[in-house]
Amino acid sequence: MAMEITPILLSAQSLDAKVRNEAEANLRQFQEQNLPLFLLSLSVELANNEKPNESRRLAGIVLKNSLDAKDAMRKEHLVQQWMVIEISIKSQIKDLLLRTLGSSVQEARHTSAQVIAKVASIEVPRKQWPELIGSLLNNMTQQDGPAALKQATLETLGYVCEEISSQELVQDEVNNVLTAVVQGMNLAQHGPEVRLAATRALYNALEFAQTNFENEMERNYIMKVVCETALSKEAEIRQAAFECLVSIASTYYDVLEPYMQTLFQLTSNAFIKKALSSLVPMLLETLLKQEEDQDQDDSIWNLSMAGGTCLGLVARTVGDDVVPLVMPFVEANIVKPDWHCREAATFAFGSILEDTTAWTLSRVFELLHSPANGFSVICPENLHRIVAVLLESVNDAPHVAEKVCGAIYYLAQGYEDAESGSSLLSPCLPGIISQLLKTAERTDGGDSKLRSSAYETLNEVVRSSNIVETSHIITELLPVIMNKLGQTLDLQIVSSDDREKQGDVQASLCGVLQVIIQKLSSADETKPIILQASDPIMILFLRVLACRSSTVHEEAMLAIGALAYASGPEFGKYMPELYKYLEMGLQNFEEYQVCAITVGVVGDICRAMDDKVLPYCDGIMSHLIHDLQSAELHRSVKPPIFSCFGDIALAIGEQFLKYIESAITMMHSAAQICAQMNTSDEEFIDYGNQLKRSIFEAYSGILQGFKNSKPEVMLPHAGHLLQDESVTKAAVAVMGDLADSLGSNTKILFRDNTFYVDFLGECLQSDDEQLKETANWTQVMIARVMVS
């Protein structure tokens, strides 16, 4: 009978160090005194969908660590411990793990897949889990089985194949595994998540397929599916398929001759894009190596003609990506007096002509159209003619229409912040918006690229518009976009393609709503429009979040952040429904961009709600601390988390005291990481700078939060702030906050760390007006302390 360990697991993640240490000691004691019951209790916790995600997550981690270790001696000890557990207990644990593969929580499924593989690595070589493969295959053959179960099962099969050797399975089991995995890659039957898991599982199963690759019919089928998967729209799936092809080529090269043409086409299309930056300059160089008499006989094949032909084929293969690499060559050589250069420029331009006309217009508008800065190739007299031509051209073929959208984008952008206070483009806005909405609805594009371009351009048109002149137009656009978003929620979804399209459209429409919210809330006169519509807008966003698509999550979260900023403290009425989605976002380690954006939205909400966010802070801080502690979460999410600490502290003031120990501990640890970073690696330098800045932003928010009630709380930590002379802009503000918040208590601190004098002096010489202003304020704050 399993023990109830939920409270202990939750306490082991407490922000209170005393509570946490006591819980960890209790877990160790339980493990040492009764390992079989301990492992069974962990398995029950992991399998129970009624349990909190936090306790299930830790249960899975502890369970996995109880079966495997990097150290060989430790691993052997764990194996022996497992081997002596009673068979009935082990059977219960294994059944619970298999049941967890059907959990509604992705993290629980993923952890269970890993633990099953660890158990398999112990038992399968000893012939002690003969029914494992059959149980997993049963999940795949259930006709109406949930996609999540199939995805988790394929993930498990992949992990199992990775953990055991090819001799451990009989051929019938290998055949069944390969059949399940290859069928899981089928585009018509499964969504992207299942196909990705299947492709990754195949990569691990290829070592077992020796006999299958010796059979021509089976080999043909496997190769056909892998090659088709290599053309998938999803980049992750394509990458996994190419990894399979690499493994196949290294393991079964002798039987690949019949597939070489197909493999060549796949790899050339994939790798030409990778090689563009090196290949295109080389081809352009050949265009300058004409023979003196070649213009008299075009039938002669020579180096420059070969280079131009190859450039044209490259352009046809990769499309638009070639244009930015060729146009600088054209622009540089077309004006040179040497005929070789002018002809080479013409030849290069002709080779990519199909992709250049609308693109060239967009580049002209981007570089030569800036009324706010006093110059533009467009005059008031020809603007309406230009707009008319663009709106007519956007009806052209999809690849042309996409470039026209780009031209409209930069045309609108150029009129932002025009000095006259009035935008010449304002009268054209109704026609532009109407045409962009029609373009977004086109069905002849083949994929979502044109639709995305149309909506991105619409966003820029709204963002760059003159709010005084166009508020009525944007106000009329709001219900149109809301209606379109509402329609996507009622679509009948019958395939993975339907689900993908729904997600793409919802993401684009959420993006448009975000820009409209920001635009209308930027002026006191139009802000009430957003406040009046906030309830139906928020209902739409919550329904979108319920669709569980990561792309939609990103865009919907960003739009919610904008609505929070506009609504202020009134946003609190949405938190009971929104909070569960914030939790989901903060726990989404795999799609880390979603996690990063959710962290940013939490900051927006704190700034909007101030102390009304307090009831949600325990949960939020717990997730943020866990995120910082996780080795699985992408490092780029961690700097925004520290900044979020500052937002929370600023919002709730002295109530942040209960979190101060955990927050400061994490900030000190991050500062130590910065100090130990490889300073010869630019990527690490950039990351270190982001981390430093976010730490100082956190300190700034915490100091200001405690300023009016308990400034002395931060005094023990003040010295740490002035130990790093390579601080970024945020550090200037923090020094001012130190002086302002702690007053005369910092006098000795500043006297002993005089580098700040030169540092502030350099900042005051900066061209950055904001930095100069902050440095000046900081200098005044410190001077006030020093003379007190």
Top mean-pLDDT range of 136-145, 217-226, 283-292 = 217-226
Report the candidate in 30, 111, 20, 24 with the shortest Cα–Cα distance to residue 65: 111
Q: Are 520 and 471 in contact (CB under 8 A)?
A: yes
Say if residue 671's pLDDT is above 50: yes
Separation in Å, CA 235 to CA 117, 147, 230, 397, 632? 27, 20, 9, 25, 21
Report, as an integer, the average pLDDT of 85-113.
Answer: 92
pLDDT band at 324 (very low <50, low <70, confident <90, very high): confident
Say if residue 779's pLDDT is above 80: yes
> What pLDDT does residue 191 have?
84
Q: Each residue of 24-55: pLDDT tens digit?
A: 999 999 999 999 999 999 999 999 999 988 89
Say if residue 577's pLDDT is above 90: yes
Say if residue 600's pLDDT is above 90: yes
CA dihedral 706, 708, 709, 715 (to 10 degrees): 50
Residue 276 or 645, more confident: 645
Report, as an integer, the average pLDDT of 653-669.
Answer: 90
Neighbours of 780 (CB within 10 A): 12
**Rounded distance, CA 591 to CA 639, Å?**
17
Neighbours of 497 (CB within 10 A): 14
pLDDT band at 296 (very low <50, low <70, confident <90, very high): very low
Top mean-pLDDT range of 275-279, 417-421, 539-543, 686-690 = 539-543
Q: Are 541 and 563 in contact (CB under 8 A)?
A: yes
Separation in Å, CA 304 to CA 323, 333, 524, 636? 19, 15, 62, 46
Report, as an integer, the average pLDDT of 740-761.
Answer: 77
Q: Each residue of 383-417: pLDDT tens digit?
A: 998 999 899 989 988 878 888 999 999 999 998 86
Residue 429 or 318, more confident: 429
> What pLDDT does residue 297 have?
45
Percent of the chain past pLDDT 70, that is, above it, reads: 93
Say if residue 224's pLDDT is above 80: yes
Report, as an integer, the average pLDDT of 461-486.
Answer: 94
Mean pLDDT, the chain, whole residue set: 86
Backbone angles phi, psi at 723, to 5 degrees: -95, -10
> What pLDDT does residue 718 have?
58
Residue 112 or 363, more confident: 112
Report, as an integer, the average pLDDT of 132-149.
Answer: 86
Report, as an integer, the average pLDDT of 639-655.
Answer: 94
Report the candidate in 149, 148, 173, 160 with the shortest Cα–Cα distance to residue 123: 160
Residue 547 or 392, more confident: 392
Backbone angles phi, psi at 146, to 5 degrees: -60, 145
> What pLDDT does residue 493 have?
76
Residue 372 or 299, more confident: 372
DSSP character string of 555-584: HHHHHHHHHHHHHGGGGGGGHHHHHHHHHH
Percent of the chain past pLDDT 90, that is, above it, reads: 44
Report, as an integer, the average pLDDT of 500-517.
Answer: 93
> What pLDDT does residue 723 have?
52
Report, as an integer, the average pLDDT of 661-682.
Answer: 80
Compute the Cα dihedral for 134, 140, 143, 144 and give only its sign. positive
> What pLDDT does residue 726 have?
37
Q: Each residue of 233-261: pLDDT tens digit?
A: 888 898 899 999 989 988 898 898 888 88
Report, as an integer, the average pLDDT of 13-23.
Answer: 84
Residue matched to tokens 């995305």: 452
Q: Flag the least confident range among 190-199, 249-258, 605-614, 674-683.
A: 674-683
> What pLDDT does residue 727 have?
46
Say if residue 305's pLDDT is above 90: no
Residue 321 or 110, more confident: 110
Say if residue 430's pLDDT is above 90: yes
Report, as an integer, the average pLDDT of 115-139.
Answer: 91
Residue 161 or 422, more confident: 161
Top mean-pLDDT range of 11-20, 442-451, 552-561, 598-607 = 598-607
Q: Flag the least confident range among 61-75, 268-282, 587-601.
A: 268-282
pLDDT band at 418 (very low <50, low <70, confident <90, very high): low
Residue 102 or 682, more confident: 102
Q: Are 621 and 15 in contact (CB under 8 A)?
A: yes
